[in-house]
A and B are shown apart, each in its own frame.
Chain A
Amino acid sequence: MKISTKIKKKIRTAKSYKFLFEELVQRDFNQKYKRTILGMAWSILSPLLHLLVMKVVFTQFFGRGKNSLYYTTYLFSGNIIMSFYKEATKNGMSSLFKERRILQKINVPKYLFLLSKNVSAFVNFLLTLVVFFVFCFFDKIHFGPHMILIIYPISTLLVMNIGIGMILSALYVFFRDIQYLYDVFLTLLGYLSAIFYHVEDFNNIMVQRAFLLNPVYVVIKYIRTVVIDCQIPSLECHVLCAFYALFYLSIGLWIYKRYNHEFVYYL
């Protein structure tokens, strides 16, 4: 009797969490797409405009891309991955603090707010991914079953975004100025992710290896290897993707567990 009521309560709680999660996702979608005039079209237009600017700047002014065949695809792949990472982590950062009035009064699982932000960033990314494939087509990229491989780096990136979002959202509760510092960091990260240049341009092998410390670059590299070079990336690349995802996720989980009850003091 007692055990069965306990199980019933567990199921009810799980159901209510699912309900909350769905409602949050729906709210984030409304906020993102319903309110702006262009709505969903902007999600597609924005990366295109970014791409256009970069393409013009780097081919016309800096003379890049002359000797590489698929420079548009090269730029675009770096761009959409970086945008996905930026959007997911930046939105994740403020997710806890924005709900402070609720969190001060109701005992709800805090990670749900972060997860729903990540879902919305992920869907947005999938939209840009469709545009990316259209461009690949025009760039005469070879399509084949090997393309399925890019699911792997994308899912590890998704997990890593959640982990880093957890860390940032916790930090943001304690230190409000982290958002400005993170913006600076993102600019730096953008330049260090080889979006518009080739890592092979550096002659020093140690410098080339150092790029692997950047998780976003590893994901970009993986996707380029599959899409542009039509090759299966090295084992190292696979291991690094998984390592970064699990590493940041476990730090994030640990912080949420450790500080779960302390957030309220600072909100």
Chain B
Amino acid sequence: MSVIECNDVSIRYITGDLKAIGLKEFVVRKLTGNYHVEEFWADRHISFKLEKGDMLGIIGSNGAGKSTILKAISQILLPVEGSIKVNGTIAALLELTSGFDEDMTVKENAYLRGAMLGYTRDFMDERYEEIIQFAELEKFEDYQFKQLSSGMRSRLAFSIACLVDPDVLILDEVLSVGDGAFREKSGNKMREILKKGITAILVSHSISQVRELCDKILWLDHGKQIAFGSDVERLCNAYEEFLQTQKVPQSEAEIDKLAADFKIRKEKEIKEQTSELRKMMGTVPEDEAYRAAIGFLKEKYPETLRDIDKLRD
């Protein structure tokens, strides 16, 4: 039994006159026949299936309909056509710093947010210390929320959200929280959650992150489903090439071509960069260059140096 099943899902937004005008204006426009609404399909005919333990990455440029499909999966929006079946509980790990109350203390706000995320009081009592420690806000517990910096706010929001223990976890651009140190910490925390074997959906503009974490890819463009599959490398390659050329592939063959082009381009780039590097190393004194190279390897690829040591032994 699959955990998530999206069957031919289409979601429509209504834009135009309705949102901005009031009741008086609405009545006047209706009477004079000046009332216009426009339909806007944020997602059109999206179909995919996820099994337990799958990690789906949704890729696509801005306005592709990524967030909308997530809203439909978390049952905030209903699809106009098609159906979404979810077996199990869903939790969204959101970077949501709004919705806190400025005049309440950090502790009160933490409880309120926990309640909104569907935790129970016992659960919050049990985990509150952990949240505050993770957010590094031990000294600020009784501060009013308006006294916190924006970095502290997002740290608190992330720390509360990441306590989740759901069947399906949704990650919408959450991995860029706080400063460098906290970002690394939150990234590690997330990987830890994902290791538990839950099903997860990741939306990220960082394609290297998607490559690292995901084993299935859904590619959307302007609400249309370009591709869905488990050949992560091919799809990510094609997508990166698409970001360069801005040509939307219309068929599997075109995706293959994009992926192939990407490889060619990368190889070329690597060749160019290598020769550039060689040139640069030639211009500095030899032992200096040698030391710099070793230092770089030590930092980035320590395992290669170990191999060399082994060979020497």
Contact = CB atoms under 8 A, between A and B. Distances in A.
Contacts of A9: 89
Contacts of A265: 13-14, 77
Contact of B18 (A34, A174, A181): A174
B120 A105 contact: no
A264 B26 CA distance: 19
Nearest to A179: B22
B23 interface: yes
Contacts of B99: 99, 101-102
Contacts of A177: 22-25
B249 to A, nearest CB: 31
Given A101-B98, A101-B99, A177-B22, A27 B104 contact: yes
Given A101-B96, A105-B76, A266 B111 contact: no
B89 A20 contact: no
A175 B75 contact: no
A196 to B, nearest CB: 31
B117 A106 contact: yes
A27 B108 contact: yes
Contacts of B92: 105-106
A19 B76 contact: no
Nearest to A28: B101
Given A27-B104, A264-B77, A265-B13, A16 B115 contact: yes
Contacts of A46: none
Nearest to B117: A106
B22 A264 contact: no
B313 to A, nearest CB: 56
A12 interface: yes
A27 B145 CA distance: 13
B285 interface: no
Contacts of B96: 101-102, 105-106
B19 interface: yes
B198 interface: no
A217 B119 CA distance: 43
A174 B98 CA distance: 22
Given A23-B111, A264-B71, A178 B22 contact: yes
Nearest to B90: A107
A66 interface: no
Given A105-B76, A106-B117, A107-B75, A23 B112 contact: yes
B94 to A, nearest CB: 5
Given A107-B74, A107-B76, A264-B71, A16 B118 contact: yes
A175 B26 CA distance: 8
Contact of B101 (A12, A27, A107, A261): A27
Interface in A1-36: 9, 12-13, 15-16, 19-20, 22-24, 26-27, 30-31, 34-35
Contacts of B23: 171, 175, 177-178, 181
Contacts, number: 92
Contacts of B71: 104, 264
Interface string A85-104: 00000000000000101111
A264 to B, nearest CB: 6
What is the size category of the interface that chain B forms with chain A? 35 or more
A99 B96 CA distance: 13
Given A106-B92, A176-B22, A261-B78, A27 B112 contact: yes
B120 A15 contact: yes
Contacts of A13: 118
Contact of B103 (A16, A31, A102): A31
B121 interface: yes
Given A16-B115, A16-B119, A105-B92, A30 B75 contact: no
Contacts of A176: 22
A23 B92 CA distance: 21
Q: Interface centre among B21, B99, B124, by most A CB within 10 Å?
A: B99
A106 B95 CA distance: 12
Contacts of A41: none
A80 B168 CA distance: 50
A40 interface: no
A127 interface: no
A12 B122 CA distance: 11
B116 interface: yes
B101 A31 contact: yes
A123 interface: no
Contacts of A52: none
A174 B25 CA distance: 12
The 10 closest A-B pairs by CB, nearest first: A177-B22, A175-B23, A20-B115, A261-B78, A101-B98, A23-B115, A102-B99, A15-B120, A19-B121, A16-B118
Interface of B: 13-14, 18-19, 21-26, 71, 74-78, 89-90, 92, 94, 96, 98-99, 101, 103-104, 108, 111-112, 114-122, 124
Given A9-B89, A23-B111, A264-B76, 19 more contacts: A15-B122, A16-B115, A16-B120, A19-B119, A22-B115, A22-B121, A26-B108, A99-B99, A102-B99, A102-B116, A106-B74, A106-B76, A108-B118, A174-B18, A175-B21, A177-B24, A177-B25, A178-B23, A261-B78
